[in-house]
Amino acid sequence: MRKEPYTVGSIVHVVKRGVRGLPIVRDEHDKWRFLKLLFYLNDSNHPEHWERDIEDIARGLHFSRPESWAERKPMVNILSYCLMPNHFHLLLEEIRDGGISKFMRSLCGSMAMYHNNKYQEKGTIFQGAFKSKTIGSDYYNDLVYAYINVKNPFELYKGGLDNAINHFEDAYSWSLGYDFSSLPDLVGNRKSPILSKHELFDYTPVQFKKFAREYLEDRLEKMSQIEII
């Protein structure tokens, strides 16, 4: 997937991979910190020492902003996300010029600095610049939405993707409990402040589950259209 130009209003599928396929998160704390980054760094007004300020108030997905901070000014709308061991996917809407690029620099820079400080390493943890593809049709919208929210968590299910498809009901229930994907927010009972709603992705839980099953059953043909990452 190459990095494509986009304008305000564009919906963009973004992926960032670990260098040489190495992990970008190593423990649960790293994973939860990734979710904090999605919320707190998606804000042009976050202070330099934001993490120190929120140390005692951010627990799980119950994020809140210190009253002393300036009014929140998001750089992007985050529509979906999934954190994998060695990469992550985001579905973003550009809401101000340069917002996606600015957000990605802030997100990946913070992840790399934290990683190197924690694990006493040096250098980048990521493989080059982020890659992106602008969504251009309703059909592709739906494929990417299922790709991020279902196909990726299913790959983490015991036995991998094929086993997950063969045990769809159990794998889907398991995925609803995977904290580091947006699926629990979109069709489950969890509601975090990370995500923004968009009219293009207006599914009921029943509708989305049906679509997800159909998508995965026919995955080889459909995934060939978006396996560009």
Helix-, strand-, coil-residue percentages of the chain, each rounded to 5: 45, 15, 40
Global pTM value = 0.91
- Region of 120 please: left (phi>0), alpha (psi -120 to 50) or beta: left
Number of other CB atoms surrounding residue 227 within 10 Å: 10
In the chain, pLDDT over 70 holds for what percent of residues?
90
Give me the residues of the chain with pLDDT under 70, please: 1-4, 56-62, 137, 219-229
pLDDT of residue 226: 55
d(CA 107, CA 33): 11
Looking at residue 13, its pLDDT comes to 94
pLDDT of residue 227: 52
- What's the pLDDT at 55? 73
Q: What is the pLDDT of residue 199?
A: 87
20 burial via Cβ count (<10 Å: 0-12, 13-18, 19+): exposed
- Contact status, residue 101 vs residue 5, Cβ threshold 8 Å: no
The pLDDT value given to residue 1: 45
- pLDDT at residue 16 in the model: 97
Looking at residue 224, its pLDDT comes to: 55
The CATH class for the domain spanning 11-132 reads: alpha beta
Which residues on neighbouring strands pair with residue 21, listed in sequence order?
Answer: none
pLDDT at 65: 85
Domain boundaries, the chain: 11-132, 137-223
